Amino acid sequence: MPSEEEKYVLVCPECGSRTFEVHDPKAVDATVHCAECQAEVGRLDEVMATIEARIERQEQKRRRRGFH
């Protein structure tokens, strides 16, 4: 069973929601906002890098557990 920390890749720092919206028609200038409270989470490229890094760490933990 995954821990609460591993369960969700991205959570709004303001309200704890796990739903997000991308604002701006161009991905280069896009910002990510919480769909519930509209708090700005960050630029799309930064948020995607954070998500990818978090997923990679989770996969590495799972792989290490499988080799014991």
Per-residue pLDDT of the chain in tens (68 residues, 90 and over written 9)? 455 555 566 888 899 999 999 988 777 789 999 999 999 988 999 988 988 998 898 888 888 877 65
Q: pTM of the prediction?
A: 0.69
The residues with which 33 forms a beta bridge, in sequence order, are: 21, 40
- Complete DSSP assignment for 13-62: TTT----EEEESSSTTT-EEEETTT--EEEEHHHHHHHHHHHHHHHHHHH
